Amino acid sequence: MKYYDIFSYLYDLLAPDWYYHKPRKFAIEKLDFKKNSNIIVLPCGTGQSFKYLKNQLKSNGLIIGIDYSEGMLTKARKKIRKKGWDNIITLHEDAARFNKSDIASISEEELNIDAIYLELGLSAMPEWQKVIDKSLSLVRVGGKIVIMDWYMEELNLWGRFIDLIGNADVTRPTWEYLKSRKEVKDFNLNHSFKNGGVFVASGYKV
């Protein structure tokens, strides 16, 4: 993750929150969580989504931010300290290998994961199918999984730029894999953001 450790210094400049505000707001509303919910954000990056989640949770529940880049986590932790957020935990973990024992280590009480938010990461993860499988194994029955990411069937100039700065592949139809999983019901896809380049996909675990 050395690339993202370096990229973390420029991330909030090259991928600012205002640019993703509309799809991010829509995606977090799709999480459909209640008061005292426990939510995983993966990857959490520099923590841009935390304030959206906090606006709904306030000081209830728990937000677990996971990232494999220490550089990204350093930026996220600075935001947490600056804002004084008391119910956000960040973990340096491999998303494809994070498991229930890792969740158990967070709290003495058993934590049920009510929602998992996969934000702008699957397009850059080598083992992205495993990350979706892992997410489905971690979220409780009836819980929600939401993906917000890039997808372009054919790359234009902007898509090539996104691939370059994100070290990604935005031609991956990651939402199709979520839709194909038998554990997912009520699948929904909105591909209207950023001129069709950014999608939000969601489903409940059965």
Q: What is the CATH number of the domain that holds 158?
A: 3.40.50.150
- In tens, the pLDDT along 134-151 reads 999 999 999 999 999 999
Is residue 83 a part of any domain in this protein? Answer: yes
Is residue 160 a part of any domain in this protein? Answer: yes
> Of 178, 197, 198, 173, whose CA–CA distance to 188 is shortest?
178
Is residue 37 a part of any domain in this protein? Answer: no
Provide DSSP, 133-156.
HHHHHHEEEEEEEEEEEE--SS--
The pTM of this model reads: 0.95
Structural domain containing residue 172: 2-31+43-205
- In tens, the pLDDT along 146-202 reads 999 999 999 999 999 999 989 999 999 999 999 999 999 999 999 999 999 999 999
As for how many domains the chain has, the answer is 1
Is residue 168 a part of any domain in this protein? Answer: yes
Is residue 156 a part of any domain in this protein? Answer: yes
Is residue 198 a part of any domain in this protein? Answer: yes
Is residue 36 a part of any domain in this protein? Answer: no
DSSP element (H, E) containing 57:
helix 50-57
Over 70: is that where the pLDDT of 1 sits? no
Is residue 128 a part of any domain in this protein? Answer: yes
